[in-house]
Amino acid sequence: MRRLLPFVAVALAAGSAHADLLSLRLEAHGGGAGGVGVAGDQKDNAFQEGARGGAYGGLVGVEVLFVDVWVQHHQYTDGKMLGTWTQFMTGMDVDVDLGVPAAAPGKPHGRPRGYFEAGLGLGFGVGTGQQVELPLDNSEVADKGFLLEAKFGAGFNLGPLFSLGFVVPVSGGYFFKSGPGVVANDQGTHYQAVEAAFLVNFRAKLKLK
């Protein structure tokens, strides 16, 4: 997280940070991701280690001031389905306008050309080793756990609602193997893991207030 702070400082110096009173955020992601188990009896069988490859999915979130609540779903593939991960998160972030055109006399500032974002979230996630068949059944869940995620990203505004850029999420957490006959308090089913991704981010942000 310390390495993220210089980027935030530079961005804040270049533009103006802001938060919306209430906004809806929709994102479509595509790129690559991978991780590794770092501790615990099941670290060699960590979901993040087995799901290295291409990643695609999306995010739906609501922001109230600086506080975000969002649901994110990603699928992983190396030509065949490696698994899916869905996480339910809450946290906070900051958006910084970049390249704001100077206002002409008597006219308001133009639309910012781009943005920088940074955020931090805490939540719960579930992973499957197969394509999800809705409604999601507990028998499909192979892994679950609690995680902390930091992210930063930037992009260009395509208009008042849409933007195209990238996002880099880095997460780590405490996870459990799941499935029939698996007992949650059995330490032999636990592990800790980290994951990072680089994702192209097409997002729509609608200010509701």
CATH code of 136's domain? 2.40.160.20
How confident is the prediction for the chain on average, in pLDDT?
85
Residue 57 CA from chain centroid, whole number: 10
* Total number of domains in the chain: 1
- Distance CA(96)–CA(111), nearest Å, equals 13
155: domain range?
4-207
- At residue 4 the predicted structure's pLDDT band, cuts being 50, 70 and 90, is very low
Confidence (pLDDT) at 20: 64
User: Any idea what the Cα angle at residue 173 is, between residues 61 and 191, rounded to 5°?
Assistant: 140
Instruction: Give 71-107 pLDDT, tens digit per residue.
Output: 999 999 998 888 999 999 999 988 899 987 766 565 5
Structure tokens at 139: 């028998």
Confidence (pLDDT) at 209: 62
Cis peptide before 6 (omega within 30 of 0): no
User: What is the 8-class DSSP label of residue 11?
Assistant: H
- Distance CA(127)–CA(119), nearest Å, equals 23
148 against 105, higher pLDDT: 148
- At residue 65 the predicted structure's pLDDT band, cuts being 50, 70 and 90, is confident
Cβ proximity of 202 and 162 under 8 Å: yes
Cβ proximity of 166 and 196 under 8 Å: no
**What count of Cα atoms within 13 Å lies in the side-chain half-sphere of residue 78?**
8
